[in-house]
A and B are shown apart, each in its own frame.
Chain A
Amino acid sequence: MTSDTRTDTDRSRTDGELAEQAVVPMPLVRAELPRWAPWGILVASLVVVGGILAATGNFGIGLTLVLGALLYAVVTYVVSRSVEGGRKATDRVVTIVVNVAFLIALIPLISVIVTVLQNGIARFDGAFFTNSMRGVVGEGGGGYHAIMGTLIITALAAAMSIPVGILTAVYLVEYGKGRLARAITFFVDVMTGIPSIVAGLFAFAFFALFAGPGIRFGFGGAVALSILMIPVVVRSTEEMLKIVPNELREAAYALGTPKWRTILKVVIPTSIAGIASGVTLAVARVIGETAPLLIIAGLTTGVNLNPFSGRMTTLPVFAYNSYAAPGVPREPFIDRAWTSALVLIIIVLILNLLARLVATLFAPKTR
């Protein structure tokens, strides 16, 4: 059968083609650019572009890099194509594009970090962590009230979201079937897409109904944040519960363990690392929320530790307000805004590291 096909194919070819194939074997060694060539071309391109720009009096670092990269790509393509062929040349150009794109993406991200560090370090002092803004008009003062507000509101939001989120995930993975489970899955997806400002509006609309349109208090902010946090907790917990092998559940059932104990003592302990790190990331996600808190938690200069009455400032709102509506003189306000941003980034960083730590600490060990 196979030999038949082969003879057919062979017959359909001309003798010349066959001869040619026999004579010219596929080469194993092909012309290739030397290893230093890409770097050589890169340096040469930058020097040439820089030189031309300097000669015409338009020299600038940014412009040199941009045009230099362009020239680098073009020259590489031409040279590689002539030596190595078109396919290799395309491969080289794509490599350049990907690398350059990565560097471009890196610029703003590094710039963000550097800017916040540079501007925030000025007021990153003891006073910032111990003083509030009560009675402060110019220099001095700090974000103590905002830090406390952030901690209280986020803790409240977490206290509401984590049990509801985890229980919902347990329902969806272990119990849910039929219409209710489908509806919950769908609406959790819907909830994921709620813009943060809309969550703030909801909390306001809800509480304004009971307390009038002037209502501003910390607990409302916590409610708004829970709406943003619950779907994140549900999703991440669900993923983690799903990857617990069914065999473990069966092993527990076969020992005569009721379902709820199986879930509490086998399923959740097995996935606790993933759940905990997912929850930590969810906290990190909402701790930087500004918009809903601006609406429902409001703004104040003093320390308010009671989330159920009175306005409560949080760090992001404090940062925003200090920057957008500074007093006179401006500088101390701007400095405080940057320091708030720095503190926020540090908190988020710590939470992320914590999530990683938790994931490795709680993960089931194999030895």
Chain B
Amino acid sequence: MSKAVHAKDLNIYYGSFLAVEGVNIEIKPKTVTALIGPSGCGKSTFLRSINRMHEVIPGARVEGSLTLDGKELYGAGVDPVGVRRQIGMVFQRPNPFPTMSIYENVIAGQKLNNKRAGKKATDELVERSLRGANLWSEVKDRLDKPGSGLSGGQQQRLCIARAIAVQPDVLLMDEPCSALDPISTLAIEDLINELKTDYTIVIVTHNMQQAARVSDFTGFFTIEGTGKPGHLVEMDETKTIFSQPKQKATEDYVSGRFG
């Protein structure tokens, strides 16, 4: 259910602009990897390139190699739509579909692709996904109500339920708590801890305490200056990054002297 992601000499471009340069990273299965770094350093760009979401922006492309359990994600004939089915994503702002109920939101992956399953199987999938997202007890009596009627934290957990309902191998999270209050944030962080038994999780965060709390590994991205490409400075176990980083830049950042 969970797979490894490997990047080798990955360059990410927007048109002719090199946004992220030379990323070499190995993300192990069933771990939580946090990506930290100052704004604009390319960590979100890198995250979005993992499930080929950055291609939504015209002119975006990558060079180098990015593999999922050894299978090239950018190989010839690879359909980005298929990639995204195996690598799910949770966004910065909760974005449940406003035209769908809570129930329909959870099975949106099926519904949007016109896959039919029995009523019973679907019910089970919804319950399993909502339980997986720690949301079941809060919404089980109002599954037919619109998803946009939930609170921000509940909406974000609904989006996580929606993402895990398609049973991906990897779950990408792009600052999933930045629009939430502290209590909702805590709920999501607990959830991340539970999810890592089943999924490989990559999370981008601006909150270093959060990275320290939830992740097993941490990668630090930075940028030399505006117009320059971002790059991965260091990637190690989270303890190491926060206690004895090998690079000066990392130490400056995690100790708050920079960024």
Contact = CB atoms under 8 A, between A and B. Distances in A.
In the complex, is A directly touching B at CB under 8 Å?
Answer: yes
Q: What size tier do the contact residues of chain A reach?
A: 20 to 34
B109 interface: yes
Contacts of B159: 251
A249 B166 contact: no
Interface in B85-118: 85-86, 88-89, 91, 93, 95-99, 108-109, 111-114
Contact of B91 (A247, A256, A261, A364): A247
B51 interface: yes
Interface string B150-182: 000000000100110010000000000000000
B97 A270 contact: yes
Given A177-B58, A261-B113, A366-B148, A269 B99 contact: yes
A82 interface: no
B166 A256 contact: yes
Contacts, number: 87
A249 B84 CA distance: 13
Interface of B: 51, 53, 56, 58, 81-86, 88-89, 91, 93, 95-99, 108-109, 111-114, 145-146, 148-149, 159, 162-163, 166
A359 to B, nearest CB: 14
Interface of A: 177, 245, 247-258, 261-262, 265-266, 269-270, 364-367
A255 B99 contact: no
A271 to B, nearest CB: 10
B166 to A, nearest CB: 6
Given A262-B112, A266-B97, 5 more contacts: A251-B159, A257-B113, A266-B112, A270-B98, A364-B98
A251 B97 contact: yes
5 contacts: A251-B91, A255-B112, A255-B162, A364-B98, A364-B148
B158 to A, nearest CB: 11
Contacts of A256: 81-86, 109, 113, 166
From A247, A249, A255, A270, name the one whose CB has the most chain B CB atoms within 10 angstroms.
A255
A247 B89 CA distance: 12
Task: Give the interface centre of B53, B58, B84, B86 by most chain A CB atoms within 10 Å.
Answer: B84
A174 B113 CA distance: 19
Residue of B88, B95, B148 ringed by the most chain A CB atoms within 10 A = B95
Contacts of A250: 53, 56, 89, 91, 95
Q: Which of B51, B113, B114, B149 has the most CB of A within 10 A?
A: B113
B99 A364 contact: yes
A39 B146 CA distance: 52
Contact of A365 (B81, B91, B97, B146): B146
Which of B56, B86, B88, B145 lies at the interface centre, i.e. has the most chain A CB atoms within 10 A of its CB? B56
Contact of A253 (B53, B97, B163): B53
Nearest to A258: B81
Contacts of A366: 98, 146, 148-149
B161 to A, nearest CB: 12
Contacts of A245: 95
B176 to A, nearest CB: 13
A248 B97 contact: yes
A212 to B, nearest CB: 50
Nearest to A259: B81
A255 B58 contact: no
B108 A253 contact: no
A256 to B, nearest CB: 3
Contacts of B97: 248, 251-252, 266, 270
Nearest to B112: A257
